[in-house]
């Protein structure tokens, strides 16, 4: 990614704690989104697809244990780091058995929290070699960061490449502007949605009349497999 390490979602009802977590994670290069209750946090995790979740066990509405349980039941293996005021072994064990990746007990050092998040991401991401992405006449090589349209090389910026690669990894799936901001820019902001539109327009101009990028009006963008048809305009 050109900017940021990706989006981290914080589910924390104590504003002072959420503010310090946001500050330290932002300084470390992460985008940050904060929710105050479990129900809203679960909805935003599903919508924004963060790279990691910092989850307070004692959330109102739906506690962190149940939130994690629902994520794992839905086969969502987003890395989860529990934060709790409880210091009983049974709570730590239950959280880890549900699929949590790490556990911190309040009070904790914000610097340690950032270090734990980075460590979890290193463990869960692994070093797989990315495979070329092919869609009809369009081919992207994520390893060498090259792009070709038929016999012609495409001159893409780093962000354009990341955006097109993200769309091509799941052809036919429509992504909202907020999902693309989260995945490619490492942020989530309704106000920044125009950033996505501008980059989509630039990609379409470089791909030409047969661009596979489709617009789902009022929803977002996708790339359409050959023969699938597509819409135009941002």
pLDDT in tens, 98-157: 778 888 888 889 999 999 999 888 877 665 567 899 999 999 998 888 999 988 999 888
Global pTM reads 0.60
CA distance 100 to 78: 9
Pick the CATH number of 7-125 from 3.40.50.2300, 3.40.47.10, 3.40.50.970, 3.30.450.40: 3.40.50.2300
In this predicted structure, the answer to whether residue 72 has a pLDDT above a threshold of 80 is yes
CATH, range 133-223: 1.10.10.10
* Cα(99)–Cα(76) distance, integer angstroms: 10
Which sequence spans correspond to the domains of the chain? 7-125, 133-223
Within this chain, domains 7-125 and 133-223 share the same CATH topology: no
Q: Is 112:130 a contact under the CB 8 Å cutoff?
A: no
Q: What is the pLDDT of residue 1?
A: 35
Whether the per-residue pLDDT at 189 is higher than 80: the answer is no
2 pLDDT more than 50 = no
Whole-angstrom distance, CA of residue 217 vs CA of residue 231: 9
74 or 124, higher pLDDT: 74
């Amino acid at each position: 990614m050109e900017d940021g390490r990706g989006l981290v979602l914080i589910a924390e009802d104590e504003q002072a704690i959420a503010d310090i977590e946001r500050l330290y994670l932002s300084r470390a290069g992460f985008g940050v989104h904060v929710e105050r209750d479990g129900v809203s946090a679960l909805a935003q995790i599903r919508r924004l697809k963060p790279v990691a979740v910092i989850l307070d066990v004692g959330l109102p509405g739906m506690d962190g244990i149940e939130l994690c349980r629902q994520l794992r039941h839905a086969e969502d293996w987003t890395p989860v780091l529990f934060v709790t005021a409880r210091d009983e072994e049974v709570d730590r064990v239950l959280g880890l058995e549900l699929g949590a990746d790490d556990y911190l007990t309040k009070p904790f050092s914000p610097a340690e929290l950032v270090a734990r998040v980075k460590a979890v991401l290193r463990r869960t991401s692994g070093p797989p070699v990315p495979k070329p992405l092919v869609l009809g006449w369009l081919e992207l090589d994520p390893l060498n960061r090259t792009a070709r349209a038929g016999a012609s090389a495409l001159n893409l910026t780093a962000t354009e490449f990341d955006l097109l690669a993200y769309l091509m990894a799941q052809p036919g799936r429509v992504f909202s502007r907020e999902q693309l901001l989260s995945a490619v820019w490492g942020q989530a902001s309704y106000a920044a949605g125009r950033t996505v539109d501008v980059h989509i327009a630039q990609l379409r101009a470089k791909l030409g009349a047969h661009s596979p990028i489709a617009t789902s009006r009022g929803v977002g963008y996708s790339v359409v497999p050959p023969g699938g048809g597509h819409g135009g305009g941002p």
